[in-house]
Structure 1
Amino acid sequence: MTDDATGARTYDVLVIGSANADLTVRVDRRPGPGETVLGTDLVENAGGKGANQAAAAARLGARTALLAKVGDDAFGEMVLDGQREAGTELRHVLVERGARTGTAMIVVGPDGDNAIVVSPGANSRLLPGDVTDARAAVAASAVVSLQLEIPPETVRAAVAVAGETGTRVVLNPSPVPEVLDPALLEAADPLVVNEHEARGLSGLDAGTAADWARALRARGARSVVVTLGAQGALALDDAAGDPVAVPGVAVTAVDTTGAGDAFTGALATRLAAGADLADAARFAVRVGAVSVTRAGAQPSYPTAEELD
């Protein structure tokens, strides 16, 4: 499905994934086993890897839609308000009566690093049939962005529909499984992973990020991006070539929550606009760098004007 006879797509980016309420507390140090520490006042924000990536893309000006499921509770409304503020199309967000919206409990240390526990809630009720029902939206999108905070069978259904409709798949396999479904790996263009995920999925016990990227490409991924935190990223598009190193941007980190989602949303945005993988990764590194200088996930994401 396209929006006119010229073949133009209705959406630049369709994100199919999770939507959560983020409950964040900052601490002077993270507690050890059996230990209690005092933190700051609780801060509630819209989050979830899917909703975060949609918000990041929409704030950068991409025509963005979100397919997700929330509960009919106050957290669900908070999630929807966050997407409205970002500019995301919400007609494909489903509200499940009697369900609790997914929730993430986040503890942020003084260095900006975080520890997160997620209760899936309504995310676990986003089913393959919901994706099939949204086939027209997938077909109308240049890129579909996927993560693994929703049921694996739903992700597989999204990959299948994207393959049938010719929609490019950006896959961020997080939370990372021990073994990634080969059908998902082979659809990923690119597979977006951090160093830990890249090593685990590559099957290599040692090596460098470049080695892991090549191994993942050899295992079937159409292209690979490895994020390196403050050091930037590696982008591998050509199976016979070397990964392109994208340098990081020097910033003072305040909160790294949602930085990977900012990166992935920005990457999908630039790929939808026709950029090559290395250029898209350069843009995404800048967006991710801005996001860690501000507290929270979605509230930290820059607009295109702020990035300039």
Structure 2
Amino acid sequence: MNRIAVLGSANMDLVVRQSRLPRPGETIFGSGFDTVPGGKGLNQAVAAARLGGAVDFLGALGADAYGTQLRALLATEGIRSTGVRESSESTGTAHISVVDSGENSIVVVSGANATVTDLDDTQRTTIADAAFLVMQCELPVAVLVQAIAVAREAGVFTVLTPAPVMPLPDGFLSSVDLVVPNQIEAEELTGESDPVRAAESLSANKTWAIVTLGAEGSVIAYNGEVLGLAPARPVQAVDTTAAGDTFVGALVARLALKVGGSVPVSEDDMVEALRWATVASSVAVTRVGATTSMPSLAEVAAILA
């Protein structure tokens, strides 16, 4: 089976539900609190595994209670974790405020994630042996650059979620096979407020780009040309946390079931994978939490049947 290597962050999400965000200096009451496994890397790994992907997770966890819980989750989800280091820093945390409309705001404390500044031999081998490499920007940029170099040499298909947006080396984005930002991230990266133009810019030089637009769907482009707008599946959202990560994990899992990393991804393959990703993310927003909201392969298949 074509394996998916996910290089990224792993956090424990500390989630507060409330009617609205407080103003500066204001104290308000919340309506609920949960601790939920998260982090963009871990989220994408879990989403891909639940959608049928064979997944390796690469990153770092602290030698603390949160780290123990996240290692247990990886094992439960069938995700291989030989590329997870133990750090003297605490496991990363994300402090999430979810308002009644379903929207959220997030503050991340990187902890052990910030210690992943270069790849060890196990991580390099795992990437080289994979069909797909999936990354985000919650790890230091230096390790992302190394991972891209290893993947390109081995002919591995690379996927980047450029979140949070940060300065990247010249040519980095164009060296990625698929970039998946949301509309805000796409505008920050390109200066284009129009998501169609942003997708055209991001997809230059034979790169795939999918700009997600929430309830408006997503724009897909390749090699500087927009191929179309994929509509969203209408649902009543209760929590948008990890919707984007679910989208990416499902997308790559579907691609991995159809093509290998060394085989060019066709437009038909990408469009079909996009359908699965759209449905998976639509299910996730109807549930509370990050990994707790992600659907199974059977759930998505039943909706698409």
Indicate whether the TM-score tops 0.5.
yes
Please tell me whether residue 101 in structure 1 is matched to residue 76 in structure 2.
no
Partner of 2:161: 172
Matched AA of 1:182: D
Q: Distance in 1 between matches of 2:148 and 2:286?
A: 34
State the Cα distance separating 1:252 from its structure 2 match.
Answer: 0.6
Q: Distance in 1 between matches of 2:171 and 2:292?
A: 34
Kept after mapping to 2: 8 A contact 1:17/1:51: yes
Q: Distance in 1 between matches of 2:291 and 2:217?
A: 21
Please tell me whether residue 214 in structure 1 is matched to residue 197 in structure 2.
no
Partner of 1:291: 284
Q: Distance in 1 between matches of 2:38 and 2:104?
A: 14
Q: Distance in 1 between matches of 2:52 and 2:202?
A: 31
Show the 5 A alignment for 1:177-216. 177=166, 179-204=167-192, 206=193, 208-216=194-202
Matched AA of 1:247: P
Q: Distance in 2 between matches of 1:295 and 1:38?
A: 19
Show the 5 A alignment for 1:142-291. 142-177=131-166, 179-204=167-192, 206=193, 208-218=194-204, 220=205, 222-239=207-224, 241-273=225-257, 274=259, 276-291=269-284
Kept after mapping to 2: 8 A contact 1:73/1:101: yes
Q: Give CA deviations for 1:122-148 in whole Å, capped at 9, x if unaligned.
A: 000112133x54222112111000001
| Bigger mean CA offset, 283-292 vs 134-143 | 134-143
Q: Secondary structure at the match of 2:119?
A: helix
Matched AA of 2:30: G
Q: Give CA deviations for 1:280-301 in whole Å, capped at 9, x if unaligned.
A: 2221111110000000000110
Partner of 1:120: 110
Q: Secondary structure at the match of 1:26?
A: strand
Matched AA of 1:87: G
State the Cα distance separating 1:271 from its structure 2 match.
Answer: 2.1
Q: Distance in 2 between matches of 1:194 and 1:217?
A: 14
Kept after mapping to 2: 8 A contact 1:287/1:302: yes
Q: Distance in 2 between matches of 1:176 and 1:89?
A: 28
Matched AA of 1:138: I
Q: Distance in 2 between matches of 1:129 and 1:27?
A: 40
Partner of 2:263: none
Kept after mapping to 1: 8 A contact 2:180/2:209: yes
| Bigger mean CA offset, 38-47 vs 26-35 | 38-47
Kept after mapping to 1: 8 A contact 2:243/2:281: yes
State the Cα distance separating 1:234 from its structure 2 match.
Answer: 1.2
Partner of 2:45: 54
Q: Distance in 1 between matches of 2:201 and 2:206?
A: 9
Q: Distance in 1 between matches of 2:134 and 2:292?
A: 20
Show the 5 A alignment for 1:30-41. 30-41=21-32
Unaligned runs of 5+ in 2: 260-267
Q: Distance in 1 between matches of 2:197 and 2:171?
A: 22
Please tell me whether residue 78 in structure 1 is matched to residue 64 in structure 2.
no
Q: Secondary structure at the match of 2:100?
A: coil
Q: Distance in 2 between matches of 1:20 and 1:300?
A: 16
Partner of 1:5: none
Q: Give CA deviations for 1:146-203 in whole Å, capped at 9, x if unaligned.
A: 00101110111111111111111000010012x4323320222211011111112113
Q: Distance in 2 between matches of 1:41 and 1:211?
A: 40
Partner of 1:45: 36
State the Cα distance separating 1:253 from its structure 2 match.
Answer: 0.5
TM-score, normalised to structure 2, is: 0.92
Matched AA of 1:38: F
Unaligned runs of 5+ in 1: 1-7
Matched AA of 2:78: G
Percent identity over the alignment is 40
Kept after mapping to 2: 8 A contact 1:188/1:221: no
Kept after mapping to 1: 8 A contact 2:246/2:284: yes
State the Cα distance separating 1:221 from its structure 2 match.
Answer: 6.3
Q: Distance in 1 between matches of 2:13 and 2:187?
A: 28
State the Cα distance separating 1:115 from its structure 2 match.
Answer: 0.6
State the Cα distance separating 1:278 from its structure 2 match.
Answer: 2.1
TM-score, normalised to structure 1, is: 0.91
